[in-house]
Amino acid sequence: MKPLLRFSVSLWTLLVFIALLKNSHAQCSAMKCGNNETLTVTTTTVKHEHTPNCTLSTGGNISRDSFLTGLTPGAVYEIFINCSSCCANVTLTPDVVRNLTVTNVTTSSVSVDWSEPEGNSSFYRVQWTDGQFNDTSYVSETSMTISNLTAGVQYKIIVTAVADDNHTDGQSTAVTQYTRPGIIGNHHIVSQNTSSISVNWASPPGEVFMYRLEWHNGGVLMTRYTNDTFAVLSELISGTNYTITVTAVAGDNETEGDPYTFTSFTSKHILSILNYSFCCL
């Protein structure tokens, strides 16, 4: 008799399960829940807040403790709430996009890509800001090139997955990146002598945090950093040709513009010939 009893319990459970499924489909087609039903939604769960032991069901997923689990992030579900005898359309929160990475940087653009989040998503919202101006674009691909940016400026780029209902947002993920500073132009040699060269240059378009100067005469490379647009290179060798490079550097001390290179000579020493007059006795 015991095996028969175990079989009877299993069969009863199966019948109840099938009945709940049929009832769920029938009720969902007939009655929608009102605004008084409070459901808390995460990426994979739905919880009924008011009734602790309310049966919730969607498809083959049934819970009798008011808490549905194991659902798909970003998906839309029709959930039968047995304690209220009504159905609610519920959209789960999309999961966060993964591996947001900067792939290319120019003076006016930043390219990023990312991996799809777990679960479902209909498209992605991409936002960027320099702290003053904001812009937004919507894409279905997992990459984007953001254009018309200002050189040498830091941008925060935020990517958010949007659920299957085209409305519900997931948790955002962000990355910051400086655009490359512009190139130096219009240098001018202010003065030269036997041991120094004074030079200035025009700042590039956009923003610059500092400039790196490098100079050499074919030997040891010398380096200096400055916030000014002029410099005096001293302790040089007279009559020597120096190669001088100026590079704009962004605020992260890493992102650089294209180097600007020119050459200049120091002056030669002038030998004075002294004329002596000899007077013969």
Question: Is residue 268 within 8 Å of 239, Cβ to Cβ?
Answer: yes
pLDDT at 97: 97
Give CA–CA dist 246/262, Å, rounded.
9
Write down how long the chain is. 281
In whole angstroms, give the CA distance from residue 107 to residue 97: 27
Residue 14: predicted pLDDT: 44
**Parallel, antiparallel or unpaired: strands 46-48 and 39-41:** antiparallel
**Strand intervals (E) in 23-109:** 39-41, 46-48, 56-58, 61-63, 67-68, 76-81, 86-91, 98-105
The helix (H) or strand (E) run that includes residue 247 is strand 241-249
Give the pLDDT confidence of 74-92 residue by residue, as tens digits: 999 999 998 888 999 999 9
Reference 212, options 192, 226, 194; nearest CA is 226
Contact of 230 with 198, CB cutoff 8 Å: yes
Q: How far is CA 189 from CA 133, 134, 251, in A?
A: 38, 41, 27
Q: How far apart are CA 237 and CA 189, in angstroms?
A: 17
Closest by CA to 143, choosing from 114, 163, 122, 169, is 114
What is the CATH T-level fold of the domain 98-178, as seen in this structure? Immunoglobulin-like (2.60.40)
**Same fold across 98-178 and 185-265:** yes
Contact between 80 and 28 under an 8 Å Cβ cutoff? The reply is yes
The residues spanned by each domain of the chain are 2-91, 98-178, 185-265
pLDDT 10s digit of each residue in the chain, 281 long? Answer: 334 334 344 544 444 444 444 554 545 665 888 877 889 999 999 999 888 889 999 988 888 888 999 999 999 999 999 888 899 999 999 999 999 999 999 999 999 999 999 999 999 999 999 999 999 999 999 999 999 999 999 999 999 999 999 999 999 999 999 999 998 988 999 999 999 999 999 999 999 999 999 999 999 999 999 999 999 999 999 999 999 999 999 999 999 999 999 999 999 877 654 444 445 44
Using DSSP, state whether 24 is helix, strand or coil: helix
Q: How far is CA 95 from CA 41, 120, 158, 247, 273, in A?
A: 12, 8, 14, 42, 85
Task: Give me the CATH topology for the region 185-265.
Answer: Immunoglobulin-like (2.60.40)
